[in-house]
Structures are given as C-alpha cells and as structure tokens.
Amino acid sequence: MEATKEKLLEAKRQLDSTIHKLKEVRKTLEAKEEPERYKSQITLAKRRIEAFELALGLIERELER
C-alpha cells in the first residue's frame, strides 16, 4: 500500500480522534470511585495512547518530507 499524502492525512485525523477518545476514557476511569478496580483498563488506555502518539509522530514526520 502506497502512503499517499491524502492517506497519511486521513490516518492522522483518525489517530487524533482516537487519542482524544482514549484520553477521555482514561480520565473517566481514573475519576471512578474505586479507580484501582480499573487499573488494567487504565494501563491499557495509557499504552494505547502512547502507541498512537508514536504513530502520529511518524506520520507527521513523513508528511514533512
């Protein structure tokens, strides 16, 4: 699959949206009455955010070329 500028821009848009949603999920879980009950879900959300931000950075670097 060729990474055209249009495809990269759409991927960036989708990643931005997903990161935003994951941050909201993490915030909601951390605000629950017993956040330790949701530790695995919070950790998963944090790791996904990090992975998507890494991918976003790579896409942005590719777009700058």
Residues 48 and 25: beta-carbon distance below 8 Å = no
Structure confidence by residue, pLDDT tens digits, 16-56: 999 999 999 999 999 999 999 999 999 999 999 999 999 99
CB 29 within 8 A of CB 38: yes
Name which of 38, 20, 21 is nearest 29 in CA terms: 38
> Full-prediction pTM beyond 0.85?
yes
